[in-house]
Each structure stands twice: as structure tokens, then as C-alpha cells.
Amino acid sequence: MRPTAPGGGATAVVGPVRPQFPGHGVAPDGYGGAMSKTWFITGASRGFGREFTRAALSRGDRVAATARDTSSLDDLAAEHGDALLPLELDVTDREADREAVARAARELGRLDVVVNNAGYGHFGAVEELSEADLRDQLEANLFGAVWVTQAALPVMRAQGSGHVVQVTSVGGIAAFPGIGAYHASKWALEGLTESLAQEVAGQGIKVTLVEPGGFSTDWAGASAHHSEEMPEYQPVRDATRERYATATPGDPAAAAQALLRVVDAEEPPLRVLFGSGPTTAVPQLYARRLATWKRWEDVSHQAQGG
């Protein structure tokens, strides 16, 4: 996360084998075969969500793709036909989330992968945040993902399988100045999802947190929200812009191919970093944290008491 944005192999299938969908018979012609998956992806109009949708469709999977304005998916619908189910959705509407998930399960027959990608970045120092700024950020990035997940779990439990993918951020395990509301939403989603993974492990449901670094999306562009700026924080904003001016963003299309490897893995990770930068920065971050905890260990023991 930064201001430019914040596997298993295939199994051979002999003959025209198509998966059975409970209550719907075999999948329609053109479906990708026994290894194909059915997806529910939020925020599919642009950025990661669009590339995830495109990658899944291109390999023969079927996708229920949500967007506030489904006209943004018209080109994909024209190319892939009934393999794409466009759904108009504002993820902050809990009842609408339930209805969208139910419709996807009903029309597509099952839900193998649910990707909670919808959300946005809010820019503003902590002192600059209004109550609406913070609440709106949490509604979209945290509550929207929770409502969709809650709606999907009964479907997956009935199937005995499924994979919930939460698109968080490096900003879900680290924090930087000027985007505290965004971090609050992603750190909360990380903790909630780690609990979820333990709760549903015995139900055949897998859970993964995808933690991207900086990518070429419009995360900091048209989709971003901004607080009213205070002049006292202008030096912080200037330093942040300078820090990231020369950074090289990742390619969302490449991230989509990486996600396919994650969801196809027999044992997918609870957490996976997307992008090269975080693979160096995150270990350094944790090394500093461990060193600090060790340096203050005597205070930790003192706090334990007798």
C-alpha cells in the first residue's frame, strides 16, 4: 500500500467432463471443466477486482462480479457471455450483500472462491479525520467484507468447501503517515480474518489474506477520498510524496495470475504478500518489532507482577 495504489498445477481431464451443480445439473457448455471454479468478486469495475475477474474468466471459470455500476463490465460480458454474472452492489448495504451472494449461489450453483476486494483509500492525518471520514472508511473496507463473508459462509459450509480471500494490504500489518483511517480498516480486517480462519478450518473452508504493496491501480486517484487538510501536516504530506515518487508499482494483471496460484493451491497460505517490495520491507519491519520487544522484556515481566 502506498500512494500509487496501496500453487497447484492443473489436473488432466479426459473427455467432456463438466461439474455438477446441486439443483442445477451439469454446468453449461463452455464451462471450463472439472477443475473450474465459481467466483464471487467485489469491486470488479477497476483495478485488482477487474483483473481478478478477467483472469478467472480467461481460464474458463465463472464469476459473479459486483460493481456499483455494472456497465463497467459490459466488455467482459460481451466477451465471456453467461460465464459472467454482473451484479450491481454497494458492499456497505448488508441486506444487498446477502441478496447478491444468494443470487450468485442460486444462478451459478456454488461458490468456490469469494474475493472481498471492494474498498478505497482515505487520505488524511489522524487529527484531520472527521467522524464521517472514519466511519465511511470502516463501512467500505471492513464491514463490507464482513457482510459478504457472513453471507457466503453458509453456502460454502453446505458444499463442504470454499475459499475466502480478503484483499487487505501491506497497510494491514504496517502503518504510514497520512492514511490512518485506511490502516484502521485493514488492521481490523486482518485480525478478524485470522480469527475466522481458525473458526472455519474444520468446515472445509480456507481463508487467505492477500497483502499487496504498491500497484498501478487508481487507489490514490479517482477512487480515493481526502480529509480537509490542516497546514500543520503539509510537511508530512510533502515527505510522503517525495518518498514514493521514484517507487516502481506492481502490475495488477500479474497479481491476478498470482491469485490463481493461491486459490489453486491444495494448502493455501493464511497470508501472502503481493509485490516484490514487501518481501524485503516486511521482514525488516518485524525484525525491528522483535528487537523492541526484546529490549523492553524486563518491563514485560515487571508488568506480570508476582
Supply the residues annotated as catalytic.
182
Cell of 83: 460465464
In eight-state DSSP terms, residue 179 is: B
- Reference 163, options 108, 203, 207, 109; nearest CA is 207
Phi, psi at 119, each rounded to 5°: 155, 180
For 111-139, b where at least 16 C-beta lie within 10 A, e where not — what string? bbbbbbbbbbbbbbbeebbeeebbebbbb
Residue 115 neighbours by CB under 8 Å, 6+ apart: 39, 40, 41, 42, 49, 52, 165, 167, 259
The answer to whether the beta carbons of residues 81 and 88 sit under 8 Å apart is no
Gap between the Cα atoms of 242 and 224, Å rounded:
19
- Please state, in angstroms and rounded to a whole number, the distance separating the CA atoms of residues 167 and 294: 32
